[in-house]
Amino acid sequence: MRPLLSAILITCATLAQAAMSSFTFPSIDGGEIDLAAWRGQPVLVVNTASRCGYTPQYDGLQELYDTYRDRGLVVLAIPSNDFRQELASDEEVKDFCEVNFGLDFPMTTITSVRGDSAHPFYKWLETETGFAPSWNFNKVLIAPDGSVAATFGSNARPMSRTVTDAITALLD
């Protein structure tokens, strides 16, 4: 019985890594962001918007990144207009984030996170966990093995104990 359970767990971990390694996003800075480049590191993926009541969380996301990046954490912002609160272009989003928040963590181009037009990462996330962003600034913590370690709603502040405890449990 135990060898079978071990085989199932290994298969599940392998599938999680395979799924995570297949996702790429266009970068707001040009080029491509490949999640496979961060295999072995925790990644906090956050769907964002520039004109939302939660937009000040960008400060907390930058603080989180500054606090834990040297230990391996990656914060990935996914600007989305699914809730009709994002600026009109990638250039406007990039300028807004640099001028108002001084962000230096990776960011994608404006990307759909819900419904039929959702990015494949978000479709995978919903299939795997049942979680889909219900508003801006929902957070998904991806474990170093590619599995979903935790999900957080918009109200979860980036530097809250709930979020930081989940992240530190995955570091070194």
Which CATH number characterizes residue 100's domain?
3.40.30.10
* pLDDT for 167 beyond 90: yes
Q: d(Cα 45, Cα 120) in Å, to the nearest integer? A: 14
Question: What torsion do the CA atoms of 102, 119, 17, 68 make, to the nearest 10 degrees?
Answer: 10
Supply angle C-alpha 153, 150, 6, rounded to 5. Answer: 155
Least confident of 22-26, 45-49, 70-74, 153-157: 22-26
- Residue 14: its pLDDT value, please? 47
Confidence of residue 2 (pLDDT cuts 50, 70, 90): low
Q: What range does the domain containing 163 cover?
A: 2-168
Indicate the pTM of the whole model: 0.89
Chain mean position to CA 75: 6
Catalytic residue flag (residue 52): yes
Read off the pLDDT of residues 116-138 as tens digits, 9 standing for 90 and up. Answer: 999 999 999 999 999 999 999 99
Query: What integer best gives the mean pLDDT of the chain?
Result: 91
> Catalytic: which of 13, 27, 52, 164?
52
Phi then psi for 166, rounded to 5 degrees? Answer: -65, -40
CB 58 within 8 A of CB 93: no
Q: What is the CA radius of gyration of the chain?
A: 16
Number of domains in the chain: 1
CB 28 within 8 A of CB 50: no
pLDDT above 90 covers a percentage of the chain that reads 87
Helices then strands (H, E): number in the chain? Answer: 5, 6
